Every structure is written in C-alpha cells, then in structure tokens.
Amino acid sequence: MKRVVITGAGTINALAHDVKGTFEAFREGRSGITDLVIRDRDRLGIQIGGQVHDWDPETRFNRQQIALYDKFTQFTLLAAREAVAQSGLNFDGRLGYEAGVVLGTAAGGVNTWDENYRTVYEEGKNRVHPFVVPKLMNNAAASHLSVEFNLKGPAFTVATACASSNHAMGQAFHMIRSGMTQVMLTGGSESMLCFGGIKAWEGLRVMSRDACRPFSLNRNGMVQGEGAAVFVFEEYEHARQRGAEILAEVSGFAMTSDASDIVMPNKQGAARAISGALRDARLNGEEVGYINAHGTGTAANDKTECAAVADVFGHHADSLMISSTKSMHGHLIGGTGAVELLACIMALRDGVIAPTIGYEEPDPECALDVVPNTARDAKVDVVLSNAFAFGGLNAVLALRKV
C-alpha cells in the first residue's frame, strides 16, 4: 500500500479567503458568523450565518465563466488555485493522466436553483438562461477543476449531506493508497445561504437564532456556513522525490452507516467509524491528541458524539482535546469536513489547537476537554476529523505528522 500525504491546501470561508487568514482566525478564536446579507432576509426566521463577505466574483472570473460557475463552483476553484499553487504541481504533462478530483457537496448549485425558480415561479417568466443545468449540477465544481488543472483520471462528486467532504477525501485517499492515481485534488464546497436554502433548514427547527455553541449546556442549534476547502493529496514517494513540503499524512479512513434513523445520530455508528479509522491507520487510541469534532451545536449531535468518543477511547477520552470549529465558520454542510481538516493540519503543523468558541456552560453530557474559547498550544502527532451526516452516514479521517 502506498502512503498518502497532503502537499497543498486552499480555502475560502466566513473567516478568510485563504488558509493563512483562516489559521489566524482559529488562533484568535474569532467568529465569522454575522447577520446574513441576502435577498428577502426579513422573511427568514433564521437571520445569521457564516457567510463569505467581500466576495466579488468579477475580480476572479470573467463574464463567460460566471455564467457557468455557481457560487459553490467559484468557491471550489478559488480554494483549488491556492492549494495547487502551494503544492507546486503542474498537471499539463503526464501527471495529468495520473491525477483526478473527488469533491463533496450536499446540494451543489443551490443559488442557481433558487434564482431560476424565482424567475419561473415568482416572476412568471417562461425562459431561463441556457446554462442553468451545467451550472447547478453537483459535479460542476469537480468538472471545472478537472478542466482548469488538466486532471484526466477519476473525477466525481460525493453527496452524503454533512459527511460529503470526508467521504470525498476518503475516496481520494483510497485511490492514491491503492496505486490507482498519484495525485488527487479533494475536499468540498457548499453554498446554501440563499432564501430557499435557509428556509429549508428552518423547517427542521434545529437552527440557532443567535450563535453556534457546541458542547455548551446552553447551546440551541446549528448555524449554517458557506465556502470551500480543497487539498492536494499526493503519493508519499512522489512528493518526497520532488522535495515537496508535506503538510500532514493521511493515515486512515473509515465509514459506517447507522442503519437506523434518517436524522437522529447514533452512538454506535459514530463509534464504529472512529474506531475503524484508528484500525485502518494502525493507531492506538492513546496516540490521538486532538479530534476535530462534528460538533454541530445541536442537542442531539453533541451528546451523542461525546458518548461515542468516550466509548472508543475509554480513560484516554479525558486526556485528548476535541473542539468544534463550526462555532467560528458555521456548518458548511457538504463542505464542512474540508474546512475542518484545516484545523487538523494546524494542530499537527503549528501545534495550535483551534478552540470551541461561544462556550458558556459545561454540559455533564459533554464532559470532555473541548478547548473552550481560547486556542491552545499543544504538541500532537495524531488527529482525527469526525463527520456524522443526516441519513446516518459517518466518515472519519485520521492524520499524522510526517
């Protein structure tokens, strides 16, 4: 089996339009959650989100491109450009045939659906722009990355709700590990902060009106975010021979299905995914120093997740750190695992653990070290990233320092 390392990272999210700025926000424990700036906000019950501000696509893309790129594709391209630039790779020659892209998104071009439904239902028009379908399709971002970087191997999109990015990165990991490809661009993107996207979530009544406070006793729900993160996964020897800077090694991955409820989380399913990732990476639980939690800030997720961690790690659960950066960037739904992998890389590379901000009251059902409110300096060699999706689909990645 080949080893897999990360040699590039890029992002745009509510905290910053790049990795450097996102790390700064993580270190400062800064929230990117604000009042939403969207059409018909006054008709929404939920009026906050982790929105990407100061975003002007016209400075990044030309008119023809904007006609084809939904916001989730724009975010993906921007993140991928940063990641590829950092890796120093060029796919124009032979490498293009040995490279691919797997991305996660829960819902793809939601803004495009929303705008065009308005056109035909609200405005009563009988004609839409010719590129509505290629713009909204879930694989649009993967295809545009393939086009922009000449990635001619496997390319597809994974949709497993809030675990989409972790499932996508797990697939990319497997492909390189098995020798199928040398390099994969992977990660995920989501852009659901439009009237219809938020209205749909309001219906479930699990959204907070004021803040995302994971693990805090007074938490009252999740806050949606938007954005993307993309990584360059590369076969270890390939990276080493060209002298690439290695950010971290992806050492294990596991996925499970609860096979129980369509929305309620399940401790056994989560625990099996966590212990499966440890087994796949040939790690002992005691080696894990940090877990980036799914930590949505809902009553149900946070207590189930803490119970699953306690089950898997036993006494060591009290020694490891577990934080939810959703408190800062919001829940990016299908893109969330990708942005959260940045906190894992920061922990391994910089020895800084991103905090869970908004933490106000201890919850006896979440009695772990959740790194409340302030980032912490700590040397960790092994980290996990959890994602537990609606539909009962769980995906956990294990990373280690190289």
Partner 1 sequence: MDAVQDRVIRIIAEQALLDPADVTPQSTLEELGIDSLGLVESIFAIEEAFDISIPFNANDPSASNFDISSVGSITAAIEDLVAQKTA
Cβ-based nearer residue to partner 1, 97 or 390: 390
Q: Which of 306, 331, 344, 366 is catalytic?
A: 331
Are 194 and 71 within 8 A, CB to CB?
no
Q: What is the DSSP letter of 213?
A: -
Task: Using the minimum distance from each CB to partner 1, give the nearer residue, 180 or 206.
Answer: 206
Per-residue DSSP letter, 284: -
Parallel/antiparallel/unpaired status of strands 4-13 and 227-235: antiparallel
In angstroms, the CA 214 to CA 365 distance is 12
Other residues' Cβ atoms within 10 Å of the Cβ of residue 315: 9
Concerning whether 294 is annotated as a catalytic residue, the answer is yes
Burial class (CB in 10 A: 0-12, 13-18, 19+), 58: exposed
- Distance of closest approach, residue 89 Cβ to partner 1, in angstroms: 44
Q: Which residues contact 69 (CB under 8 A, 6 or more apart)?
A: 57, 61, 77, 135, 140, 144
| Cβ closest to partner 1, residue 6 vs residue 366 | 366
Query: 34 or 220, CB closer to partner 1?
Result: 220
In the complex, least distance from residue 167 CB atom to partner 1, rounded to whole angstroms: 24
Contacts with partner 1, residue ranges (CB under 8 A) = 203-206, 208, 219-221, 262-264, 298-300
Q: Where are the alpha helices (H) located in 150-182, listed in sequence order?
A: 164-177
| Matching residue, tokens 């909204």 | 136
Least separation in angstroms between CB 220 and partner 1 = 5
- Compare residues 259 and 262 and give the one whose CB is closer to partner 1: 262
Give me the catalytic one of 17, 144, 162, 306: 162
Nearer to partner 1, 124 or 203 (CB): 203
Smallest separation, CB 260 to partner 1 (Å):
12
Contacts of 316 (CB under 8 A, 6+ apart): 285, 286, 288
CB 296, min distance to partner 1, A = 10
Least separation in angstroms between residue 392's CB and partner 1 is 13
- Residue among 144, 167, 238, 294 flagged as catalytic: 294
**Distances from the Cα of 132 to the Cα of 15, 116, 126, 136, 296, angstroms:** 30, 8, 14, 6, 32
Q: Is 17 labeled as catalytic in the residue annotation?
A: no
Q: Is position 174 annotated as part of the catalytic site?
A: no
Q: Which residues are catalytic?
A: 162, 294, 331
